[in-house]
């Protein structure tokens, strides 16, 4: 191969799908002559192309590359957009992976990588090509090898999301709404899967939202005096509900716009009581039993658990049909999302009441079943865990940016781990692993927690720790 660095003034693109169209636009914007090739291309069509990129569906990728190898001159470099690149390069010393991080139409990151052991001249060509495209297009990187790892992480999330919808656990609309509002995704997983060209999911039947008549709710109580309980109480009070906070230290909350009491007997006239005590099953069951004893028949009882089985809390009462999960996101006055969790016992009218109350609060309710992690945590934390598990030999910052671009997140997974806390992430991933027998916590996550790298809470950030370890 010539050692002269070439930016490929003439490039051929096979494929008229989203990836092919986006590549044609980027290449043309950079001043290159682009030859758009149909499936019946000939040697004459590709004769002047220094680079030809196969941007066709994965099943056809290998056959297209083999045909290009047969028709192109021996100096032509071939490339694929396959994600992951599950092809055998017909000419390994003249082969590039040109991969978008996420759906081609939406992503802001494109990577150009050479095969392992590629000659230095090819690496130089790839670097020059990436630098030139970056001047007029999205961020184009070369040599990081993170696109394939990032896309694998995202595709695993999309498969999990599709399974949840197919089983009737949550509707596609609610799942996407939850991930947009709760995780900050630009588009939800089902929308992302559609943009990526994945086959649609045949959804099972779910419990209809409007199958019950809502009960009247005017008087609210929140059991608990912690930060989350206070935030939830302020949300109800601000929405105009007659709001009461009950707990052992409720007296210190006076003046926050709601009544306070240390006596559970004060719950006798409440229409809805929201349990918001510590995230401990024994504690929650004890408090819910007290609430059950004091509340009138017909009152709706809710738990704010973020990770515990709602049914186990409901069965601490004599009326599990009146119990529903209301998982407010923190901070409750700011976050729009509420996961409304129905158990096999939850009455249709109770579910309808929860949805009506959320609407009155100006919140976005999404209905799901009673499984570990509900919707957002069930999808987000395995993604964070998988990112860490994919780090072997990769630059942490580059992988973080690649996954962020592929998912359309406001923060990359490593930064999210800093915000959440690695110890909390480890606890959640362990609970998901026990419940779903999915992926075990990544050894990197275990090590970070053991080393005291907890993220923002103690100023020891994940990315800095991993970058230092890699160096």
- Residues carrying an active site annotation: 306, 327, 339, 377
- The token duo for 70 is 């047969």
DSSP state of 194: H
Return d(Cα 344, Cα 371) in angstroms, integer: 11
H-helix or E-strand spanning residue 110 = strand 109-113
Q: How remote is the C-alpha of 126 from its chain's centroid?
A: 31
Return d(Cα 15, Cα 38) in angstroms, integer: 7
CA dihedral 121, 126, 132, 133 (to 10 degrees): 160
Question: Is the separation of the CB atoms in 87 and 69 below 8 Å?
Answer: no
Sole residue written with tokens 């990544």: 442
- The token duo for 250 is 């409720």
Angle, CA of 18, 21 and 22, to the nearest 5°: 85
Return d(Cα 325, Cα 327) in angstroms, integer: 6
Return d(Cα 244, Cα 259) in angstroms, integer: 5
Residues 6 or more apart whose CB falls under 8 angstroms from that of 358 comprise 326, 338, 340, 364, 365
Is cis: bond before 84, omega within 30 of 0?
A: yes
What Cα–Cα distance (Å) separates residue 383 from each residue in 404, 413, 465? 11, 8, 20
The number of residues in the chain equals 471
- The token duo for 450 is 């053991």
338 three-class SS: strand
- The token duo for 391 is 């780090």
């Amino acid at each position: 191969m010539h050692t002269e660095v070439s930016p490929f003034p003439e490039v051929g693109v096979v494929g008229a799908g989203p990836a092919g169209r986006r590549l044609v636009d980027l290449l043309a914007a950079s001043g290159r002559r682009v030859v758009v090739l149909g499936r019946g291309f000939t040697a004459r069509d590709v004769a002047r192309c220094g680079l030809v990129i196969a941007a066709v569906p994965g099943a056809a990728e290998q056959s297209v590359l083999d045909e290009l190898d047969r028709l192109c001159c021996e100096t032509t470099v071939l490339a694929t957009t396959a994600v992951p690149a599950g092809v055998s390069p017909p000419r390994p010393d003249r082969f590039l992976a040109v991969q978008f991080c996420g759906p081609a139409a939406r992503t802001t990151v494109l990577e150009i990588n050479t095969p392992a052991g590629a000659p230095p001249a090819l690496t130089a060509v790839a670097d020059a090509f990436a630098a030139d495209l970056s001047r007029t297009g999205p961020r184009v990187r070369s040599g990081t090898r993170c696109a394939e790892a990032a896309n694998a992480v995202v595709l695993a999330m999309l498969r999990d999301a599709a399974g949840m919808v197919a089983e009737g656990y949550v509707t596609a609309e609610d799942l996407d709404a939850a991930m947009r509002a709760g995780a900050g995704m630009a588009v939800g997983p089902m929308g992302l899967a559609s943009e990526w060209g994945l086959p649609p999911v045949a959804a099972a039947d779910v419990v209809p939202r409007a199958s019950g008549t809502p009960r009247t709710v005017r008087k609210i109580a929140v059991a608990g005096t912690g930060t989350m309980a206070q935030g939830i109480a302020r949300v109800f009070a601000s929405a105009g509900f007659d709001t009461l906070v009950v707990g052992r230290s409720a007296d210190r909350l006076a003046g926050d716009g709601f009544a306070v009491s240390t006596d559970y007997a004060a719950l006798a006239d409440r229409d809805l009581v929201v349990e918001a005590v510590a995230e401990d099953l024994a504690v929650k069951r004890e408090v819910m039993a007290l609430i059950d004893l004091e509340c009138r028949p017909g009152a709706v009882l809710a738990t704010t658990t973020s990770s515990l089985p709602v049914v186990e809390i409901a069965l601490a009462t004599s009326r599990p049909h009146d119990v529903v999960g209301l998982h407010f996101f923190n901070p409750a006055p700011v976050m729009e999302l509420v996961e409304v969790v129905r158990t096999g016992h939850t009455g249709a009218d109770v579910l309808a009441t929860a949805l009506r109350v959320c609407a009155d609060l100006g919140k976005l309710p999404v209905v799901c079943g009673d499984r570990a992690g509900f919707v957002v945590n069930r999808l987000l934390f395995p993604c964070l865990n998988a990112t860490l598990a994919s780090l072997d030999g990769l630059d942490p910052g580059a992988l973080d940016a690649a996954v962020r671009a592929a998912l359309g997140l406001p923060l990359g997974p490593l930064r999210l781990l800093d915000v959440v806390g690695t110890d909390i992430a480890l606890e959640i991933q362990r609970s998901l692993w026990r419940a779903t027998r999915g992926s075990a916590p990544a050894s990197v996550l275990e090590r970070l927690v053991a080393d005291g790298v907890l993220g923002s809470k103690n100023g020891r950030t994940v990315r800095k720790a991993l970058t230092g370890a890699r160096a």
